[in-house]
Homo-oligomer: A and B are copies of this chain.
Amino acid sequence: MRRMAAGAGERQRRGDARLRRAALLAAVGELLAERGPGFSLAEAAELAGISTATAYRNFSDTASAVDAFFGELTGELMEAFDRLPAGADPIADIQAVCREWVARASRWGAAAVHIRSPRGVLARRGDPFVGGLYQRLDRLVEAAIRDGAAPAQDVRFAVLMWLTIFDERVVVDLTGTLGWTVEDAAEHLTGAFLRVLGV
């Protein structure tokens, strides 16, 4: 009820603060893509067109701004996956997730590769990004096997193959280095994964 009681001025202030934070995170993403995590919060603030003081009111340092950037990106990705229509065809569901991923990874891949851990993905199933992806893919592969659309197999291995075939760097290689369209990249990578799955 407190929110609804806020006056127009208060609502405006909150909206402005949100916009500044969003601009700052967008700048963090741009700097990450360009040169990796070696930038200052002041540089991100300048690129976002906000004051350094405002940047520091949002984040204590570059690392926490990068964490927030990656956190938002993870949240948006999981929401997008959960919005995809789950149909009667488990293979079509897998294809939809693959397409959504490639479209997003081609946009933020260059930034995300800098914050990818050198640890293997199975060793990081506890983190929200890998864990969220892992869980959804595990469910999709299980459904495909249950449905008889894919042969019985080690689901952990199949999910690991998805996570490696769809590595952001691969997406960036195809859409950036080779100049493929997002559609072409998604089609090739999805085809490769479905062949691995034995579909």
Which residues of A are in contact with B by a Cβ distance under 8 Å?
36, 113-114, 116, 118-123, 154, 156-157, 160-161, 164-165, 167, 169-170, 172-174, 176-178, 188, 192, 195-196, 198
Contacts and interface: CB of A to CB of B under 8 A. Distances in A.
B120 A177 contact: yes
A84 to B, nearest CB: 24
Contacts of A172: 120, 123
A170 B176 contact: no
A177 B198 CA distance: 24
Q: How many copies of this protein are present in the complex?
A: 2
23 contacts: A36-B118, A113-B118, A113-B119, A113-B120, A114-B118, A118-B169, A119-B169, A120-B169, A120-B170, A120-B172, A120-B173, A120-B177, A121-B169, A122-B178, A154-B188, A157-B188, A160-B173, A160-B174, A161-B165, A164-B164, A164-B167, A164-B169, A195-B196
